[in-house]
Amino acid sequence: MKTKVVVTGMGAISPIGNTVEEFSASLKAGKSGVGPITLFDASEFDVRIAAEVKNFDPSRWIDKKDARKMARFTQFAVAAAAQALEQACLVEPAPADGSAEGAKPRLKTTPERTGIVLGNGIGGWEVVEESFRKMIASGPRRMLPLTVPLMINNEAAGNISMIYGTKGPAFTQVTACASGTDALGQALDLIRAGRCDVVIAGGTEAAIVPFAIGGFQMLKALSTKRNNEPEKASRPFDADRDGFVMGEGAGILILESEEHAKKRGAKILAEFAGYGATADAYHITAPDPSGEGGARAIKAALEDAGLRPEEVQYYNAHGTSTEINDPTETKMIKLAFGDHAYKLKVSSTKSMTGHCIAGGGGLEAIACILAITEGYYPPTINLENPDPECDLDYVPNKVQYGTIDAAASGSLGFGGHNGVVVFKRYGK
């Protein structure tokens, strides 16, 4: 008998809102978070747009001294974790004046039984760039003293552990764009294995920096045709798509065993019912065009959740808005769901948030849980000229409402990594 795992808290930092409430409202409104790049001068780049996190003030959630020792991706993760822990009632509430300065969070669970699993694909590249420039210009003694601890992928998990005093496992999952989804799956397994009662899990990324934008531009992976109308650039499943839009942000869930959550009287948001992961063994960037690898991940997640395909109402697609991904993912869904694929609501919230790399897995899991708890299907915006190869119901352009008992989210990473998570209405 598998240990039942539930979700008791969520936190979001995203291009369309810096709380779960703001994120949900923007999903319902079909709001685009894409705009001109402001984090650096992109005038010499072919790509001059991105989905940036806006109006982010880390001092709302993080002590100012601590924040100065964190890269942007870590700040996002810590802020989202603070929101999630507060919703789950596992820490004392934030100060009433809205400032986290000097706050000392007190964890309300056993530290040794509390773990962290975060996904991150790229790390603190803005730190790498700044420190490298200083080294080239003035020598190694001018490098940032904290270059290494700021840049490395595991520091988001490490900082959350230090702030809240968690003493269980603290892992970082790196499977490119599937990192956040795979982190959730690894957290599920930790609880089921009896190693943890509570796990802080999700993904974070902040890769809107010259080196990353330049690198993805060289791969011809980013949208370049709509620098003058950025809100239209991310258009999954549309025939006029020309690449993904880089996004950033973090999505964090608090996962608990059902027994632990019920014992402390927690409000349970949803059941985390299943996880599946596979590898394509095909190409360093492209998915297997047959869709076989992704379909196996979906089937594995459904089997793990004990669900038949027809029992799932919503699928949050990876949906990157690239030439290859969208028709391939459509094949995956058809292979996995069979005839039910044409009755399934499928959408890509990346049409609004851009591609947040590891942060996407966490944010898209939150979108699935919101779909269940608030009864709506997030739209795929900018779907104006459907690709004939993409012939499913992608909830075009406007939110739709309905009863959703089960929802799944899939992520596909460079290198052929496929991860899928399944959530169910609690008690269903």
C-alpha triplet 240, 245, 250: angle, nearest 5°? 140
Distance of alpha carbon 229 from alpha carbon 231, whole angstroms: 6
Other residues' Cβ atoms within 10 Å of the Cβ of residue 136: 10
Supply the angle between the helices 358-374 and 20-29 in degrees, to the nearest 10. Answer: 80
Which H or E run contains 49? strand 49-50
Give the burial string for 327-336 (b: 16+ CB within 10 Å, else e): bbbbbbbbbb
Pairing of β 406-413 and β 314-316: parallel
Residue whose token pair is 């507060």: 86
Distance of alpha carbon 262 from alpha carbon 56, whole angstroms: 34
Helix/strand/coil (H/E/C) assignment for every residue in 296-312: HHHHHHHHHHCCCHHHC
Residue whose token pair is 């360093």: 284
Distance of alpha carbon 77 from alpha carbon 177, whole angstroms: 16
Distance of alpha carbon 41 from alpha carbon 50, whole angstroms: 12
Q: Where are the alpha helices (DSSP H) in 255-381?
A: 258-263, 292-305, 325-337, 350-353, 358-374
Burial classification of residue 376, based on how many CB atoms lie within 10 Å of its CB (0-12 exposed, 13-18 middle, 19 or more buried): buried
The set of catalytic residues is 177, 318, 355
Other residues' Cβ atoms within 10 Å of the Cβ of residue 415: 16
Q: What is the CA radius of gyration of the chain?
A: 20
Do 357 and 54 touch, CB atoms closer than 8 A?
Answer: no
DSSP letter, residue 161: H
